[in-house]
């Protein structure tokens, strides 16, 4: 639980600084820092999303509070990585395809779609309705898959 609160505190502090429109290019002094940052944000987000997935698949018992906590982390972190794709951060240790920068509008639309789907998951988690959570989880998963298919090298 301490790790959850620490992650949320870090995310809450970082969101306003990084999500501020027009200042993304100033957020990282080196392209390597941007790559590490976005990979870390996606990794932590993926860990918490996978925990929700275990519940959705019936691999873990449904604990409303635990799902809500995992969704809160996913929701906070979903805003972070997209400010970490400045020009020049298409480095060899990045799995981002060149399309991230060539099709920036489509990439942003994918990020917006994912964040919208996560908001639906958050609403479902707050309701405590496992069936609603399952449906919303599927929507988030589809938005993630779509972006991975278009913008991430395997």
For 66-87, what is each residue's pLDDT tens digit? 999 999 999 999 999 999 999 9
In this predicted structure, what is the pLDDT of residue 16? 45
How sure is the predictor about 154, in pLDDT bands with cuts at 50, 70 and 90? confident
- The CATH number of 2-151 is 1.20.120.10
Nearest to 77 by CA among 106, 39, 128, 24: 39
Q: Where are the domains of the chain?
A: 2-151
SS3 (DSSP) at 3: helix
pTM for the complete prediction? 0.82
Given a cut of 50, whether residue 24 has pLDDT beyond it is no
Q: How far apart are CA 31 and CA 96, in angstroms?
A: 13
In this predicted structure, what is the pLDDT of residue 18? 46
| Mean pLDDT score, 48-76 | 97
């Amino acid at each position: 639980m301490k790790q959850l609160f620490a992650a949320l505190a870090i995310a809450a502090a970082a969101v306003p600084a990084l999500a501020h429109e027009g200042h993304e290019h100033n957020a990282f002094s080196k392209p390597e820092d941007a790559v590490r940052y976005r990979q870390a944000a996606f990794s932590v987000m993926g860990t918490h999303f996978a925990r929700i997935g275990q519940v959705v698949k019936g691999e873990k018992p449904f604990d409303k509070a635990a799902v809500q906590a995992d969704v809160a982390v996913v929701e906070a972190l979903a805003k972070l990585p997209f400010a970490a794709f400045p020009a020049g951060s298409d480095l060899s240790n990045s799995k981002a395809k060149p399309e991230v920068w060539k099709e920036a509008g489509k990439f942003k639309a994918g990020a917006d779609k994912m964040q919208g789907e996560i908001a639906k998951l958050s609403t479902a988690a707050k309701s405590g309705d496992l069936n609603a959570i399952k449906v919303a989880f599927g929507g988030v998963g589809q938005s993630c898959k779509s972006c991975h298919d278009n913008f991430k090298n395997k």
